[in-house]
Amino acid sequence: MSKKKKVLLMTATGSYNLGDELILQEEFHFLETHYKDTVSFRVFTHDKKSSFLKEKTIDYVTYFPHNIRWNPLANIGYLVKNIWLILRADILIIGWGGIIFDNEAWVSFSSLLWQWFFRTKLARLNGTTIVYLWISLEVKQIKNKMQLKKIFQKWDFIIVRDEQSASLLDALEIPCSQIPDLAFLYQPEKVEKIPEKKRIGISVRGGFLSSADELKIPLIYEYLEQEGYDPVFLLHTTSGNDTQNDSLFIKRIMSGKTYHTTGTIEWTLKVYPTLYAIIGMRFHSLVLASVHGIPFLSISYGPKTKELLNILEVPSDFRLAPEHCSLNLFKPRLQKLIDHYDDEKSRIQKNHQKIHDDLQDKLKTL
């Protein structure tokens, strides 16, 4: 009997982020089908309780570093185990969305670069095959772009999920392939009962709205209530500070007001099939709207979401920039979405089927 190859899977799981957990789930199912029973998997995580994967065949490993300021001694153990596993691995798969970026002031680019340099350097010393799956690179500064050569090599197998990342690696003369986000393959559960009141999900995120723009969100929520809808905030992240944690961000901007919100990322996922429409800011709120065939208004905050909207072929009338979310602009766009609801639903379903089929075809070639 041949010995199983050791595969390490490094994703963003464990940060209680709905999109990251969906990506891990779909990546694992793809890899499990691709490799069958010829490999053993170890999944790196910050907290295995966050994962949607409950397979007993998966071993979870804590990343180094992990809360190093508060748990320095535990991190010595994490470091030793991380080094040992990377040096013994046959394949290192780094797979999810934004692995390194400099567009969020509260996250250190140099820290992210150091972590990935450390991990990939160990793997290269051991001759381990490095595979990047469905990554995205939000890097603006020229000096930071040049630093990416420290973690990417021409002989790595790299799949990116967006054109911006593909162009960046191309400029660095690093070959890659572009394939849409794997979360488009998610198969949603069928909802048993649709709520009597039309429920509209609202997905927002902190850190990308000005103070003036933040004040528009409560007004939109109140307007939806006045119009007889049942608005609910969709939590896509539940950890970190209010630039990352949707719960804290919504609590701050809705201070003193009564509102409905999902409590966990699992709850959010179960609510999606019950939604009549979506006002989506987070990347995976738009992916899930596509998956479920739900008409939506988008609030695009950067190149990543702008490109996704192009992939989804969203008409300009259903796109909003954060600075253009005033009620005067929101009301007519919502009314137009309602007036063309059936047509828009049909368009979304057809577009998703096209993306889904194209993604499946590309996966067969890997």
Domain ranges of the chain: 5-179, 199-355
pLDDT recorded at residue 73: 95
What CA–CA distances, in Å, run from 306 to 3, 95, 211, 314?
46, 22, 22, 10
Cross-strand partners of 26: none
Instruction: Look at residue 1 in the predicted model and tell me its pLDDT.
Output: 52
**What pLDDT is attached to residue 2?**
67
At 61, list the tokens. 């490993």
pLDDT in tens, the chain (366 residues): 568 899 999 988 888 999 999 999 999 999 988 888 898 999 999 999 999 987 777 899 999 999 999 999 999 999 999 999 999 999 999 987 788 999 887 889 999 999 999 999 999 999 999 999 999 998 999 999 999 999 999 999 999 999 999 999 999 999 999 999 999 999 998 877 788 899 999 999 998 899 999 999 999 999 999 999 999 999 999 998 999 999 999 999 999 999 999 999 999 999 999 999 999 999 999 999 999 999 999 999 888 899 999 999 999 999 999 888 899 999 999 999 999 999 999 999 999 999 999 999 999 888
5-179 topology per CATH: Rossmann fold (3.40.50)
Same fold? 5-179, 199-355: yes
Q: Kindly tell me the sign of the dihedral angle through the C-alpha atoms of 308, 312, 314, 319.
A: negative
- The CATH architecture assigned to 199-355 reads 3-Layer(aba) Sandwich (3.40)
- DSSP 8-state symbol, 322: G
Spatial distance between the Cα atoms of 76 and 80, rounded to a whole number of angstroms: 6
Task: Please state, as a whole number, how many other Cβ atoms lie within 10 Å of the Cβ of residue 299.
Answer: 29
Collapsing DSSP to helix, strand or coil, 320 comes out as strand
C-alpha–C-alpha distance, residues 259 and 282, integer Å: 19
C-alpha 108/C-alpha 110 separation (Å) is 5
Q: What is the 3-state secondary structure (H, E, C) of 15-72?
A: CCEHHHHHHHHHHHHHHHHHHCCCEEEEEEECCHHHCCCCCCCCEEEECCCCCCCCCH
pLDDT at 264: 96
> Does the global pTM surpass 0.85?
yes
